[in-house]
Structure 1
Amino acid sequence: MARIGYARVSTLDQDLDGQVARLTAEGCTLIRSEKLSGGSREGRAELATVIEFLRAGDELVVARLDRLGRDTRDVLNIIHEVEQRGAFVTVLDPHVSTQGSMGHVMLTVLGMVAQMERRFIRERQREGIERAKAAGIYVGGKRRLDHEWIRALHAEGSGPAAIARVVGCSRMQVYRVLQEM
Structure 2
Amino acid sequence: MATVLYSRVSTTDQTVAHQRAQAEAAGFVIDHVVCDEGVSGVSTRLADRPQGRRLFDMLRAGDVLVVRWVDRLGRNYQDVCDVIRELMRRGVIVRTVINGLTFDGSTTDPMQQAVRDALIGFMAATGQAQAEATKEAQRAGIAHAKAQAESTAYRGRKPSYDREQFKAVVDLLNQGSTVQAVARDTGISRAAIYRIRDNMVEAEAALTRWAI
Relative distance call for 1:92 and 1:13 in structure 2 (3 A) is closer
- Residue 119 of structure 1 and its aligned partner are, at CA, apart by 1.0
State the structure with bigger RCO (CA 8 A, min sep 6), 1 or 2: 2
Gaps of 5+ in 2: 108-112, 151-162, 164-212
Write the letter of the residue equivalent to 1:10. Answer: S
Q: How many residues align?
A: 138
TM-score (norm 1): 0.68
Write the letter of the residue equivalent to 2:7. Answer: A
Identity %: 33
Q: 2:29 aligns with which of 4, 8, 27?
A: 27
Write the letter of the residue equivalent to 1:5. Answer: L
Deviations 1:39-95 (A, max 9, x none): 131752112211211111111110111111111111111112212322121112111
Instruction: Determine the C-alpha separation between the residues in 1 that align with 2:99 and 2:86.
Output: 22
Q: Does 1:41 align with 2:45?
A: yes
Relative distance call for 1:46 and 1:86 in structure 2 (3 A) is same
Report the counterpart of residue 178 of structure 1 in structure 2.
Answer: none
Deviations 1:96-151 (A, max 9, x none): 111253333222211111111111101100001111222337xxxx9xxxxxxxxx
TM-score (norm 2): 0.59
> Once structures 1 and 2 are overlaid, which stretch shifts more, 74-83 or 18-27?
18-27
Gaps of 5+ in 1: 143-181
Q: 2:120 aligns with which of 107, 113, 118?
A: 107
Q: 2:137 aligns with which of 111, 124, 129?
A: 124
- Structure of larger gyration radius: 1
Query: Which structure carries more helix by proportion?
Result: 2
Report the counterpart of residue 15 of structure 2 in structure 1.
Answer: 15
Moved over 6 A (4+): none
